[in-house]
């Protein structure tokens, strides 16, 4: 039923669009250059990062290294995750299947056992001669990746997890009274942290080490690096606070819960309520609100964590230059989902709101998004976020609506591999296929000059008059907010809400699916 729901919604929306005039192109076409064999892949996946970046027009956030990457890349300004929570989103884009096919809506099942033995993106590259490497949080750790990050299927060697990761939720945040707390807002002196470091620092160091190994080995590689910040707790080196004086931090432009908001759509942000500093505020459940001054502190620390992330990305890309591989490596930068910063009275993810589902997405492809680059040429010199304020703009910017589920097929095409086939309507028993079409066709095209096709629609996910559609979904255990609304376990899911996004519209269409948990856990050909 879910595929039918999406198909009807997409069909309705495409029909509504017939005859509407096209908009003028948003950017000039770039010189055409085809992808070639032998390109390495560096996939950077960030946890909980909304497009709060300079290259996305945010005038407050200081992100010079990511902006520099964008200046050499095609940047998609309307990219969407399929579910705004870590494990389901990551399994979705790493397998190229939607959550309704992976059957993962929570954290507590492994798709190869409970849905189908689906091939993953790194597995496909591995089977095509690549050395595949994982650093940090790529798959969500735990049951959802078989306690192994899907090793050995997806990776050539066991994935690396930073040792400091185990302290993430410990009491490491020093309060005004000098005591240690497990706070949400947590600027720290890194030298006082266990082992004197932080997880993302360790991940950068390991990724750089692996780049040097791969330079020596001269083998094609697929290196995925997953960064934790700005995931909560907002724990980052305290010096980054200097970049964001509190007097410059405003509240969200729409900080109130909408009067006519359906209660089932609301996310009561239960995870941040569990942090010591939020508990001390004694905020009412489910709608709050948080005090204005604390809202500003959260937003300040989120931005500071983004600049800390930018430093790590800058060091990693600078190392790619150092080993002479910038001319032969595709770089992809994205996030698993967004994060609400007080919009609609909400915090965190766990919803179908635009701020929770929209993500940054950019592709650097040597000779395609940039002119030819000679071996050893520096493309990504490190930029200190404390001293560099750049006005760099993306090499190409597309307003096309795209989905993370398309990442698998897109990277396969860019690397010169055979693009996996499109999945049939029912694909539980099909090991290799994708539910997201490659978006390479948008790389060198203006908003108008994409291949013309007939008006209408060809599948559940894309209008063929080039008005693409992105679907996101989120489960709820009940109509009204309760303690497990944000992260319901499979057995407790009773409602599945869907949102649909085009470049101009964002309807939350009416087919809210009600069913029993037995249907959600069914791995037969029946679809809800």
The residue written with tokens 């990511």 in the block is: 66
What CA–CA distance (Å, rounded) separates 288 from 342? 11
Count CB neighbours of 519 within 10 A: 15
466 contact partners, CB below 8 Å, separation of at least 6: 400, 450, 452, 453
- Per annotation, catalytic residue among 140, 161, 231, 337: 140
Label the pairing between strands 467-468 and 462-463: antiparallel
- Per annotation, catalytic residue among 55, 86, 186, 423: 86
Instruction: Provide the sign of the torsion angle of the four alpha carbons 413, 337, 490, 134, taken in this order.
Output: positive
The residue written with tokens 């980052």 in the block is: 236
* Dihedral angle, C-alpha 210, 212, 217, 220, nearest 10 °: 60
Is position 423 annotated as part of the catalytic site? no
Is position 86 annotated as part of the catalytic site? yes
What CA–CA distance (Å, rounded) separates 492 from 508? 23
210 contact partners, CB below 8 Å, separation of at least 6: 133, 135, 221, 223
The residue written with tokens 């606070």 in the block is: 241
State the angle between helix axes of 86-95 and 407-414 in degrees (0 to 180), rounded to the nearest 10: 40
Burial string for 406-427 (b: 16+ CB within 10 Å, else e) reads bbbbbbbbbbebebbeebeeeb
How close are the terminal C-alpha atoms of the chain, in Å? Answer: 4
In terms of Cβ atoms closer than 10 Å to its own Cβ (0-12, 13-18, 19+), residue 264 is middle
Contact (CB, 8 A) for 143 and 490: no
In terms of Cβ atoms closer than 10 Å to its own Cβ (0-12, 13-18, 19+), residue 226 is buried
What CA–CA distance (Å, rounded) separates 34 from 48? 32
* Paired tokens of 216: 């020596």
What CA–CA distance (Å, rounded) separates 57 from 45? 20
What CA–CA distance (Å, rounded) separates 38 from 220? 7
In 365-446, beta strands by DSSP E: 396-403
What CA–CA distance (Å, rounded) separates 65 from 325? 17
442 contact partners, CB below 8 Å, separation of at least 6: 74, 76, 398, 400, 402, 450
Catalytic residues: 86, 140
């Amino acid at each position: 039923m879910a595929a039918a729901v999406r198909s009807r919604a997409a069909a309705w929306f495409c029909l509504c669009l017939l005859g509407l005039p096209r908009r003028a192109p948003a950017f000039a076409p770039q010189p055409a250059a085809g992808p070639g064999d032998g390109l390495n892949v560096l996939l950077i996946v960030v946890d909980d990062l909304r497009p709060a970046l300079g290259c996305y027009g945010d005038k407050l956030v200081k992100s010079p290294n990511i902006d520099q990457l964008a200046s050499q890349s095609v940047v998609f300004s309307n990219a969407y995750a399929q579910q705004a929570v870590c494990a389901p989103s990551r399994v979705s884009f790493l397998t190229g299947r939607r959550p309704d096919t992976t059957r993962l809506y929570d954290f507590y099942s492994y798709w190869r056992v409970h849905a189908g033995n689906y091939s993953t993106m790194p597995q496909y590259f591995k089977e095509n001669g690549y050395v595949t490497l994982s650093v940090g949080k790529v798959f969500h750790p735990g049951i959802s990746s078989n306690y192994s990050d899907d090793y050995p299927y997806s990776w050539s060697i066991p994935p690396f997890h930073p040792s400091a990761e185990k302290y993430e939720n410990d009491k490491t945040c020093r309060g005004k009274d000098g005591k240690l707390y497990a706070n949400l807002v947590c600027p720290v002196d890194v030298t006082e942290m266990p082992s004197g470091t932080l997880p993302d620092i360790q991940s950068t160091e390991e990724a750089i080490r692996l780049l040097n190994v791969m330079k020596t080995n001269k083998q094609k590689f697929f290196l995925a690096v997953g960064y934790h910040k700005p995931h909560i707790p907002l724990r980052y080196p305290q010096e980054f606070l200097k970049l964001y004086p509190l007097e410059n931090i405003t509240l969200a432009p729409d900080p109130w819960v909408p009067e006519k908001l359906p209660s089932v759509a609301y996310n009561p942000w239960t995870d941040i309520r569990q942090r010591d500093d939020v508990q001390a505020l004694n905020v009412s459940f489910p709608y709050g609100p948080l005090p204005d001054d604390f809202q500003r502190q959260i937003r300040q620390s989120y931005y500071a964590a983004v600049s800390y992330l930018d430093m790590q990305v800058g060091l990693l890309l600078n190392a790619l230059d150092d080993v002479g591989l910038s001319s032969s490596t595709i770089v992809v930068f994205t996030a698993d989902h967004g994060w609400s910063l007080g919009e609609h009275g909400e915090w965190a993810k766990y919803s179908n709101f635009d701020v929770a589902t929209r993500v940054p997405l950019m592709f650097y492809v040597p000779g395609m998004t940039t002119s030819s680059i000679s071996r050893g040429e520096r493309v990504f010199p490190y930029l200190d976020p404390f001293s560099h304020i750049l006005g760099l703009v993306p090499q190409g910017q597309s307003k096309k609506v795209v989905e993370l589920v398309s990442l698998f097929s897109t990277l396969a095409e860019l690397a010169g591999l055979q693009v996996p086939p499109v999945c049939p309507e029912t694909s539980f028993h099909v090991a290799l296929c994708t539910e997201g079409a490659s978006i390479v066709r948008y790389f060198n095209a203006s908003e108008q000059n994409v291949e013309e096709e007939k008006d209408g629609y060809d599948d559940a996910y894309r209008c063929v008059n080039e008005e693409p559609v992105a679907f996101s979904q989120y489960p709820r255990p009940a109509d009204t907010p309760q303690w497990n609304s944000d992260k319901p376990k499979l057995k407790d899911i009773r409602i599945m809400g869907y949102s649909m996004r085009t470049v101009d519209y964002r309807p939350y269409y009416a087919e809210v699916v009600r069913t029993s948990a037995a249907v959600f856990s069914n791995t037969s050909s029946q679809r809800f």
